[in-house]
Amino acid sequence: MAGPNGLRTLWRGGGPVKKRTGFQVMLSLIGLVKPLMGFMVLAIAMGLAGHLCAAFLTVLGGYGVAHVLGWQMEVSLPMLFGVMILLAVLRGMLRYGEQACNHFIAFKLLALIREKVFRTLRRLAPAKLEGKGKGDLISVITSDIELLEVFYAHTISPVAIAALFSLLFSLLIGRFHVALGLLALAGYCVVGIVIPLITSRRSGDDGLRFRTQSGALSGFVLDSLRGLSEILQYGQGKQRLAEMKARTEDLAQDEARMKRTAGQNQAVTNAAILVFSLGMLFSAALLYQQGQVDFLGVLIPTLAMMGSFGPCVALANLGSTLQNTFAAGNRVLDILEETPVVEEITGQPAVTFTGAEAKNVTFSYGGETILDNLSVSIPQGSIVGITGRSGSGKSTLLKLFMRFWETQQGEIALSHTNVNRINTQNLREMESFVTQETHLFHDSIRRNLCIAKLDATQEELEDACRKASVHDWIQSLPQGYDTQVGELGSTLSGGERQRLGMARAFLHGGSFLLLDEPTSNLDSLNEGVILKSLKEEMGARTVVLVSHRTSTMRIADQVYSVEHGRTS
């Protein structure tokens, strides 16, 4: 889907997802571990020690059998059993410590990643979030990030542990004979590397497809719930339910295919372990016949091989599950690596509002020109009206004054200063913007208004609401300003939401007031009160008023008509 300036979104719901290899995703995700690298090293050390304890239980058991069979040992049998008990206890403690470290790392990083995602979304908004599937974004922020717990808690340290463990045990077995050590190393590589790679390639894009379809289904369900009244009104319930069922079945088929691949992977892994264990036994027996190893050279390498595949099995099982995890990581990285249309400006001198203007502005969405060499002058303390047909670029002009996007040609200036050279915070303090659709949070009226000024007093709230012709209505509610508005303001009418939006603008106190159809949902009485308030604000505020209503334009000092992106 093309967006402003022809930009293409990189996550599902607004466009195709950027493809990365599993290795690229893994490196990017590992890079996020840097703040917690000390804990990761500790987890790897405890995990390696724990697996060595478990494996040496089998090895020491072999030495115990040899002792019983009459082989001369340097340690007594009771001491051997004592060491085995100690290793068993240490194994449990080290396993607990490893898992505690891994999960601390995982959940700490998930919190950091969520913070990074929200910061990125804030930088991308509003230009790159317009038209995006909200359900898909919710899926990324919740389930996709949650899936990364598998990677941070059960992947990074197991990979390092398996590599170090395999090397150590290959050297241990190789002490009896080099060929046996090489055979052990080959077995570890096949189970821990070759099988997971083959499984990953067989899975292909199954994980990515599953995550994107899951996000799309979330968006579809959210959209259906929001439009439930329209669905019922026009009798589309069965059709909508059928489509939801079809999407769910497609998702179930993808999940079944992934689980089937995981089952096949486990079967192949177990078969490989059996083959290499028997191969170690037969190879050691052959070397025994040739006199190259003694009885211990057959018993210990075979038992060591059989009891040392644990770390590699953990890697083999990741071959299929990581597809889903890497797909989720890919979608999260798409957001984190996305660049905003406009960057925040800092470090510039503070500007005091003394008027605004658009000079020879040209702006396009993709290949479609919306504004073409448009010029508008807005003197300080005036009310300037802008009229025109829908789609002529009126709302776009207001967004350019807000610097949601940047012009391709021409200049948007406040106080004779290009908006690209005004600190973003300074710009937001000077401006108040009321859109056609007022968004209300699932909270009280008071907290919804105070988003415009967090430390607003009750007197300031009431004054702003009187100007917006909404104070008397709020006072008539059982809980007054503490009344809950419901999700998305669902308990309020369009006119009530619009008046609350105007109250926010008055409360914010910006010198430059941008109003996009501020009275479209109001009756003539409430419109008159708001227009009277705007007229009384002249001098203290400068107003740009976009409207189709002739009655609204009567208070304007000057009216521009925008047609085909040009003013007249």
Element containing residue 330 per DSSP (H, E): helix 310-336
Cα-to-chain-centroid distance, residue 515: 32
pLDDT band of residue 348 (cuts 50, 70, 90) is very high
Average pLDDT, the chain: 85
Average pLDDT over residues 510-516: 93
The superfamily CATH assigns to domain 355-567 is P-loop containing nucleotide triphosphate hydrolases (3.40.50.300)
List the chain domain ranges: 8-336, 355-567
Q: Does residue 3 register a pLDDT over 50?
A: no
Element containing residue 411 per DSSP (H, E): strand 409-414
Q: Please give the pLDDT value at position 290.
A: 92
Q: How many CB atoms within 10 Å of residue 368?
A: 10
More confident site: 54 or 5: 54
Residues forming beta bridges with residue 104, ordered by sequence position: none
Six-digit token pair at 307? 């009891």
pLDDT band of residue 1 (cuts 50, 70, 90) is very low
Cα-to-chain-centroid distance, residue 247: 23
List pLDDT tens digits, range 112-132.
888 888 888 888 877 777 756
Q: How many CB atoms within 10 Å of residue 455?
A: 6
CATH number of 8-336: 1.20.1560.10
Q: Please give the pLDDT value at position 10.
A: 36
Burial 334-349 (b: 16+ CB within 10 A, else e): bbeebeebbeebeeee
List pLDDT tens digits, range 165-176.
999 999 999 999
pLDDT band of residue 183 (cuts 50, 70, 90) is very high
Average pLDDT over residues 538-553: 86
Q: Does residue 15 register a pLDDT over 70?
A: no
Q: Please give the pLDDT value at position 430.
A: 95
Contact 484, 491 (CB under 8 A): yes
CA-based nearest residue to 513, from 527, 525, 528, 531: 531
| 247-254 contact pairs (CB < 8 A, 24+) | 247/213, 247/216, 247/217, 247/220, 248/217, 250/213, 251/210, 251/213, 251/214, 251/217, 254/206, 254/209, 254/210, 254/213
CA-based nearest residue to 159, from 296, 38, 303, 51: 51
Q: Does residue 353 register a pLDDT over 80?
A: yes
CA–CA distance, 100 with 435 (Å, rounded to integer): 49
CA–CA distance, 340 with 332 (Å, rounded to integer): 16
| The residue to which tokens 């619009």 are assigned | 498
More confident site: 252 or 320: 252
Cis bond before residue 379 (omega within 30° of 0): no
Which range is least confidently modeled, 75-79, 158-162, 432-436, 495-499?
75-79
List pLDDT tens digits, range 23-74.
677 788 888 888 888 999 999 999 999 999 998 888 888 888 887 887 777 7
CA–CA distance, 287 with 31 (Å, rounded to integer): 47
Give the range with max mean pLDDT: 3-7, 25-29, 261-265, 370-374.
Answer: 370-374
SS3 state of residue 453: coil
Contact 494, 427 (CB under 8 A): no
Cα-to-chain-centroid distance, residue 202: 27
Q: Please give the pLDDT value at position 204.
A: 64
Average pLDDT over residues 138-146: 78
Q: Does residue 485 register a pLDDT over 80?
A: yes
Average pLDDT over residues 557-561: 92
Average pLDDT over residues 226-242: 83
Q: How many CB atoms within 10 Å of residue 292?
A: 14
| Backbone dihedral angles phi then psi of residue 379, each to the nearest 5 degrees | -65, 150
pTM for the model stands at 0.66
